[in-house]
Structure 1
């Protein structure tokens, strides 16, 4: 048996050596020693940032600032008067915080108005259904509409039963798979239902968990297809309607929606900076979106991402640190309608792409941080990975492939490196786009670590002698 174990051990060592050799020959990049020394030379500054944000004067500051903001303004639909006041507040507050070049940059956003709305089950019994009209949906006729219901579980089932859909309200009772899969019913359900003659569509909320809570969000209409009103209903009610239909019960619903799209109105992206000392025209951009849906408080989506971006700059300013290139925070408008604010910003600034060092966005929660998602060259990723080692004490140092974010995608396509916050957000879609998105779902200590990660990554990149390699 000893020989057997010795043979296994030798086999393991040979396989391990082959793995190391494969890793060393597959294009893996080693950070040059001079850049490693440069990053190591920022240790004192990094420690000051981390201590300030997690144990010092900045502890819980980002949570408290966001709580004050959300308690003051509540939710902030792009184009609304509330959103305008929120932007004005942020400009004044960031100026008072001592940041540089604080200003708003205009962007046109849809002027979508929800109005009064309701959905009432009439047959087989009377029940008010919890619902939220989907963003950019048209409304019903003034007196509403009443129709029988067809429940389907998928687009395929709808098409197979298309002869049953004419003149009816189609209910999509799709099972949660993932946000990327299930959100297609929210986005495309109305047009798919209209193609087979339905007069309205109701979509089971895009969430894996519900306490009778509807979850709204944006939808789109396909060109050349009749626009019919569409709303989300709760998981519980969608399943109930499916059970009723399976028993052969006739289902009738009255739907009323005053929703209307009245052109576009001007909103603003909010911008603030810590000016660079050596390369002030080169930019490290951190961001989150300030607008939200008109339910809950927009605390998680995306007040948290916007405020850790402010906090990163605020901590650098408070500690008197001056990076070599400019750190810029942008709080976007119109993200929930499809990225209207960031589209305008990109078109206004795309000629500066060569001066954009990295663009970063946090829009997937500010829960327990795990690391940074990154898009860019292998050389750039290796440098970012070296920087992220500073977050190892918080188990938040991993650099994952694939940054994402509606507001920064255009920059990726133009070759600019990108980053997004990775965090333990398994319950994110429990509260997403619902009345449950309040400060209660956020934790002050977790937000501090997210802010520290955001500050460390952006400051160190901004303070390197050279921009990240493309």
Structure 2
């Protein structure tokens, strides 16, 4: 993140656009190192795997140990009796998937009866595994900690994303032992060998560096308005990502779209009527923290927002635009959209006045305080399965023709919003309630950003800006 923030400021500065990094809080600093995870018995095989984010490093150690599967026991008392058996073992905590083929592959090639049977068996298996976890007395979050306290060598899981060769990579809860994700194909091999009594062993060496409490930033750039410099059009995309891949489509592509739009605007529209500002937010993945902090820190900007345009759902061209519950959004968004080139505009479905989006991305931070903010929703490109928070969210998945489409769209909308002589209405649409009285539709609630991670075992010498007593657990 530090390198990315510095790179963005340098890039904007090189284009002649004023930019800065603005601290919004502080977080637990963690730096990924190398991982080597291999099966060494009953044969040798390098495994497709990675340590989870925030997994503790092992230093120079390499641990070789047997695997055990989390058992299906009667209740939490039985589990407590079994728990000492994990000492010195790697514990497998994920279900063995019945198939490594995505459903679309089954739908194309299987008989209807076979496909339905697989889905029925899988549902039953998933329910049984959920119940297995529940009977331990722990949750998916607290179970790894209990295994750690019992002396396990490490926690092994597989968070399959329902596609060929793809897992979702999130964060670890352990503090001393490694937590690793092993891709479905290799995890299934280890599970079957363990289940059949072959007592497979794996060798694990993972490195990472704890950096203590570090400052965290949003990158802000702006093209100053010539007539109404204290009114703002905001381009929005989050800068942080889960690091199973490289965050290419979540949200590298949103970032590139907004940067390219700013580059275009600076070249062809260097003196906009309103200030055009871009925010590259930190800690979106941990709860929209960077954008929430910006909203809280800059009421003078938020109160004068003409429009916010946010993009955060993959590499595809934008195909949906909702009015987010703003009553008159049809008027101003409709006028702005009409000036977008037809080959881009004609593929966009609009929904007016629409309903306010939830907390899924940074536009919600602005909607929560009444600012007109809009999500530019993209074509899927198998985003949810293959790139959202996965080990396959990498550069090669970017579709640059679609990004060019989106950059032109954003630049045009920003230009039109800045030029518009009228100020955007913030009036909310109303809908009938049970009592018969009209009320605004429910939207995201304003929340204080968490400016600190769950810093258990961390003792910063100085506290950062306090924003209430809201602490976030890494999840």
Instruction: Calculate the TM-score normalised by the size of structure 2.
Output: 0.66
Match of 2:23 among 82, 85, 106: 106
Q: What's the secondary structure of 2:347's corresponding residue?
A: coil
SS in 2 for 1:238: helix
| Match for residue 119 of structure 1 among 12, 37, 43 | 37
**2:258 paired with 1:309:** yes
Q: Which moved more, 1:323-332 or 1:169-178?
A: 169-178
Instruction: Give the C-alpha shift of residue 116 in structure 1.
Output: 3.3
2:370 to 391, 415, 422: 415
Change in 2 beyond 3 A, CA 1:190/1:126: farther
Structure with the larger helix share: 1
Find 1:203's aligned residue among 157, 160, 172: 157
In structure 2, the residue matched to 1:253 is: 202
Contact 1:132 1:215 in 2 (8 A): no
Two-structure CA RMSD over aligned residues (Å):
3.9
Alignment CA distance shift 1:146-1:425 (3 Å): same
Deviation, structure 1 residue 241: 3.1
The change in CA–CA distance for 1:295 and 1:250 in structure 2 (over 3 A counts) is: closer
| Secondary structure class of the residue paired with 1:301 | helix
Q: Which whole-Å CA distance do the structure 1 matches of 2:59 and 2:155 have between them?
A: 14
Given that 2:145 and 2:173 are in contact with CA atoms closer than 8 Å, whether structure 1 keeps it comes out as no
Aligned equivalent of 1:361: 310
Q: Is the 8 A contact 1:172 1:189 kept in 2?
A: no
User: How far has the Cα of 1:92 moved from its partner?
Assistant: 3.1
Structure 2 residue 154 is the aligned partner of structure 1 residue 229? no
- What's the secondary structure of 2:37's corresponding residue? strand
Give the deviation of 1:432 after TM superposition: 4.4
**Aligned match of 1:130:** 48
Q: Tell me which residue corresponds to 1:92.
A: 10
**SS at structure 2 position matched to 1:366:** coil
Q: How many residues align?
A: 375
1:305 deviates by 0.9
Q: CA deviation at 1:161?
A: 8.3
- Tell me the distance in 2 between the aligned counterparts of 1:190 and 1:254: 24
Q: What SS class does the counterpart of residue 172 from structure 1 fall into?
A: coil
Distance 2:67 2:223 in 1: 57
Q: Distance in 2 between matches of 1:238 and 1:291?
A: 28
Partners of 1:408 and 1:455 in 2: CA distance: 17
**CA–CA distance in structure 1, aligned partners of residues 96 and 415 of structure 2:** 44
Kept in 2, the 8 Å contact 1:388–1:398? The answer is: no
Q: Is the 8 A contact 2:39 2:203 kept in 1?
A: yes
CA contact (8 A) 1:363 1:405 kept: no
> Residues of 1 paired with 2:262 and 2:172: CA distance?
35
Aligned in 2, Cα 1:141/1:393: closer, same or farther, shift over 3 Å? closer
- Aligned to 1:264, the other structure's residue is in SS state strand
Deviation at 1:348, TM superposition (A): 2.4
Match of 1:191 in 2: 142
Q: Does 2:175 match 1:218? A: no
2:416 corresponds to: 460
CA contact under 8 A between 1:190 and 1:229: conserved in structure 2? no
* 1:260/1:366 CA distance change after superposition, 3 Å: same
* Partner residue in 1 for 2:215: 266
Residues 1:112 and 1:417: Cα distance change in structure 2 (over 3 Å): same
Shift of the 157–438 alpha-carbon distance from structure 1 to 2, 3 Å rule, reads: farther
The 10-residue stretch of structure 1 (160-169 or 329-338) with the greater mean CA deviation from structure 2: 160-169
Is 1:399 aligned to 2:317, yes or no? no
CA deviation vs aligned residue, 1:302-342 (integer Å, no higher than 9, x gap): 22211211222222232237544222111234445655543
Q: In structure 2, the residue corresponding to 1:375 is in which secondary structure?
A: coil
For residues 172-183 of structure 1, the aligned pairs below 5 Å read 172-173=94-95
Residues 283-294 of structure 1 aligned to structure 2 (within 5 Å): 283-292=232-241
TM-score when normalising by structure 1: 0.66
Q: Which runs of 5+ in 1 are unaligned?
A: 1-77
| Whole-Å separation in 2 of the counterparts to 1:159 and 1:370 | 49
Q: Residues 389 and 291 of structure 1: is their aligned pair in 2 closer, same or farther, counting only changes over 3 Å? A: same
Question: Cα offset for 1:172?
Answer: 1.5
Shift of 1:406: 4.1
Tell me, yes or no, if the aligned pair for 2:96 and 2:188 is still in contact at 8 Å.
Answer: no
Q: How far did 1:299 drift?
A: 3.2
- Contact 1:191–1:227 (CA<8 Å) still a contact in 2? no
Task: Report Cα offsets for 1:176-212 as digits up to 9, x if no partner.
Answer: 999xx9xx99xx745333346573322314523234x
How far 1:344 sits from its partner (Å)? 4.1
Structure 2 residues not aligned, in runs of 5+: 104-125, 134-138, 428-475
Distance in 2 separating the partners of 1:396 and 1:436: 28
Bigger mean CA offset, 345-354 vs 280-289: 345-354
